[in-house]
Structure 1
């Protein structure tokens, strides 16, 4: 406890020292056209933003299985503030040794994450030590929120072209991650963010897997409705569960396809996650919607993403399908539904 107290004192003194002297080494952030930020960093190193990020409210704006998210402002010395999101990882820290070990694992992950660059992956701007015992991630604030929120507010006005565009962007990001040997492991509509230009940004890749390993808990948390069936299997050995693989992301992407085309999450007619878990263990997939309908070719491909892990397409194949599918075919299914007199729920 004394070491933790001294560490906090040292961090506080460093912050005061930097601000008093107008620290020249302060990292710079460029505001992008979408209202987010991008670190001006030719060496692609991971900046320590401790002392330059302040909370905009006394409470986090969102809480997940392993993290709290804060709306904050990044303010460099004599520079205009930039709205950012700070994700504070929540893992039990029992001893100083465990804190040091977990901190190093997080920083190693952050450094690796900083090297990933794709237009549809949420960039990591840096980290901060001001949000708890463990370092927190600092990312651009994305104003339209999650894909779940975006669909809830805009689904009626979204065209087929707009929906396909979002799916292509997400598939492209997942394909890039897989090409770098990275499995997302928690792909849901809650971890896809939509910016002011209506572009999708995949966030939180690998976070659930890393936190599950560090805390010794399941890879299944709040992502039940999007999770691949193999992640529910408990092996005979002492391992808690099967780690997510690229094929697991593809299953989840099939659920994203369904949600984008219908505006509703998988198993939307099932109230509790516990009931969903029972259905998944029994091998029951989400049922095909009729209101609104999904075109035959599109539904067939969703089911292909939900097939046995070995039979699922790769992310590259998914993107190829989305590039080739004709929006006119999708519109025809919707027009047929309207002509037949279906009423919205």
Structure 2
């Protein structure tokens, strides 16, 4: 045991002092025992989170310039906080938030504030780093017969070759419709592209990039899903007859919908044709042409944009949940509406 001023270093101190909150080393005035009375609280974890965040962003432990922990303890007790290395490139906003975690207990951010801050910064970083790959040269003159035709576009199956491998992709080409102006079609195309770029999840068909097929409209390039739509899968796979197999499909669709709603995205056109099945039998949601992003006024669905192009058998005017119920009716038992 080592004596430091009025404090003892004993085994009652839990954790490592370089990350620990200073209140863990306080001794209450009414302490009558020989052991230190440690003042634990959720705010202690917030302080430690700030120290861990500093280490993650700078690749240096807190108090990196102090070798002996006993000296670190003295600095913690005196209220001296860690500092980032001079050569670090930590963003001022991040450094400011870390320092908030080291404020007196009552002034520290809550866990909810931390989660919101990290989520916002992650989304901003992803948005900055998102690069839309151009596949024009790789699919030029390779589109033959369309696989399917929808309200807004025609989907083709195409093979993209690289030095490493061949990849099958789906190419959605927006239709030039005499009933819609090019400006309206371009607005619809850009809306779907912006919504799709926001979505990164195992239950969402991956968007790979774009291509110039029918200028000025871009074609959207996505991963080809080998088992087709949910409708085709249930029709052509008689083995999918057990309740557990159908519940697995329903669960996957529900997880996809849950992810969309967690991102404030309303699909707006959920039906078996917009649920694709991968090679492992997992459902993935696709086709975000009628999707709405709740908090983004530029990505709101309107009848002017959509032109009423949705399937009335599956869609309620206000709810993805209604559509999910219709899809579940279709999945179990397999009955075509």
TM bin (shorter chain):
0.5 to 0.7
Aligned residues: 204
Trace 1:56-95 onto structure 2 (pairs within 5 A).
58-76=144-162, 78-92=163-177
The two structures have a TM-score, normalised by structure 2, of 0.54
* Contact in 2 for aligned 1:55/1:73 (Cα 8 Å): no
Trace 1:6-25 onto structure 2 (pairs within 5 A).
none
Find the structure with the greater CA-based Rg.
2
1:204 matched to 2:290: no
Of structures 1 and 2, the one with the larger relative CO (CA 8 A, separation 6+) is 1
Stretch of structure 1 that moved more, 85-94 or 208-217 = 208-217
Trace 1:285-300 onto structure 2 (pairs within 5 A).
none
CA-to-partner distance for each residue in 1:285-322, whole Å, 9 max, x for gaps? xxxxxxxxxxxxxxxxxxxxxxxxxxxxxxxxxxxxxx
* Contact in 2 for aligned 1:129/1:135 (Cα 8 Å): yes
The two structures have a TM-score, normalised by structure 1, of 0.53
Residue 259 of structure 1 is aligned with which of 322, 327, 330?
A: 330
SS of the residue corresponding to residue 265 of structure 2 reads coil
State the partner residue of 2:197. 114
State the partner residue of 1:50. 136
Q: Which has the larger helix fraction?
A: 1
Residue 124 of structure 1 is aligned with which of 198, 207, 231?
A: 207
1:227 matched to 2:315: yes
SS of the residue corresponding to residue 262 of structure 1 reads coil
For structure 1, the residue ranges without an aligned partner over 5 or more in a row are 1-40, 232-244, 267-345
The CA distance in 2 between the partners of 1:216 and 1:105, in whole Å, is 8
State the partner residue of 2:260. 177
* Contact in 1 for aligned 2:265/2:291 (Cα 8 Å): no
The CA distance in 2 between the partners of 1:250 and 1:67, in whole Å, is 25
The CA distance in 2 between the partners of 1:263 and 1:42, in whole Å, is 44
For structure 2, the residue ranges without an aligned partner over 5 or more in a row are 1-126, 293-299
Structure 1 position 200, deviation (Å): 0.4
State the partner residue of 1:20. none
Structure 1 position 261, deviation (Å): 0.6
CA-to-partner distance for each residue in 1:101-148, whole Å, 9 max, x for gaps? 753663354134122111111111111112454111100111110000
* Contact in 1 for aligned 2:188/2:289 (Cα 8 Å): no
The CA distance in 2 between the partners of 1:198 and 1:55, in whole Å, is 32
* Contact in 1 for aligned 2:210/2:218 (Cα 8 Å): yes
Structure 1 position 212, deviation (Å): 6.9
What's the Cα RMSD here? Answer: 2.9
* Contact in 1 for aligned 2:136/2:212 (Cα 8 Å): yes
The CA distance in 1 between the partners of 2:170 and 2:258, in whole Å, is 25
